Amino acid sequence: AQSVTQLGSHVSVSEGALVLLRCNYSSSVPPYLFWYVQYPNQGLQLLLKYTSAATLVKGINGFEAEFKKSETSFHLTKPSAHMSDAAEYFCAVSGWGGKLIFGQGTELSVKP
Amino acid sequence: DGGITQSPKYLFRKEGQNVTLSCEQNLNHDAMYWYRQDPGQGLRLIYYSQIVNDFQKGDIAEGYSVSREKKESFPLTVTSAQKNPTAFYLCASSTSGMTSGRSNEQFFGPGTRLTVL
């Protein structure tokens, strides 16, 4: 079975500071992992995905994530936060049949 | 432009009424999904369909029904049996839902916000 835990339902950073959103997964098979972003009252947009090709994955809007098998983690980072990064972020692991199992989400606030 | 459309964006329902949420995609995707989103609970899978004329229950299917008569369309009906239907509903699709599809990302529509009056 697969599951995802996102540590911290709310993260607040200052503009220009490092963004770190934490995601730990559990999977009985080699995992495929995803990060999505959701702006208020909108659908989800894919930021990046890990499909075993490389452990450091670069995505859109300057985000990247590193797959660490020993730590069962897939944390999302961005070196310098922008006001436009304020949104909710979801980590997900792929289950059987292409289903996605989502974490609870982390709301990112960016202070000026 | 290819994508997923959901309508309406906002929907109000009276107690005891059935309502149908529309989801259409022109991405030529085989698999389609319906999720329910509540604050602080992430996304929960209601139903999914890996191919036309076939669909399976997700984690919270009670009080919902779907059909998949066309590849492009996957409407969701919220029935009066659903006791707490007020939520944000998201439709998604992906290229394949079968065993080879685990690495395929899902593409999401803009969502429908349903409110029970």
Q: Read off the pLDDT band of A54 (50, 70, 90).
A: confident
CA–CA gap between residue A80 and residue B72 (Å, rounded): 40
Neighbours of A28 (CB within 10 A): 8
CA–CA gap between residue B34 and residue B68 (Å, rounded): 12
CB-nearest to B106 from A42, A100, A103 is A100
Instruction: Say if residues A23 and A5 touch (Cβ distance below 8 Å).
Output: yes
pLDDT in tens, B53-65: 999 999 999 999 9
CB-nearest to A98 from B41, B90, B104 is B104
pLDDT in tens, A76-95: 999 999 999 999 999 999 88
> Checking DSSP bridges between strand B31-37 and strand B43-51, what pairing results, if any?
antiparallel
DSSP single-letter state for residue B73: B
Least Cα separation, residue B65 to chain A (angstroms): 18
pLDDT in tens, B17-76: 999 999 999 999 999 999 999 987 889 999 999 999 999 999 999 999 999 999 999 999
**Cβ neighbours of A51 in B, within 8 Å:** 103
Write phi, then psi, for B111 (nearest 5 degrees): 95, 155
Least Cα separation, residue B19 to chain A (angstroms): 20
Whether the bond into B85 is cis, omega within 30 of 0: no
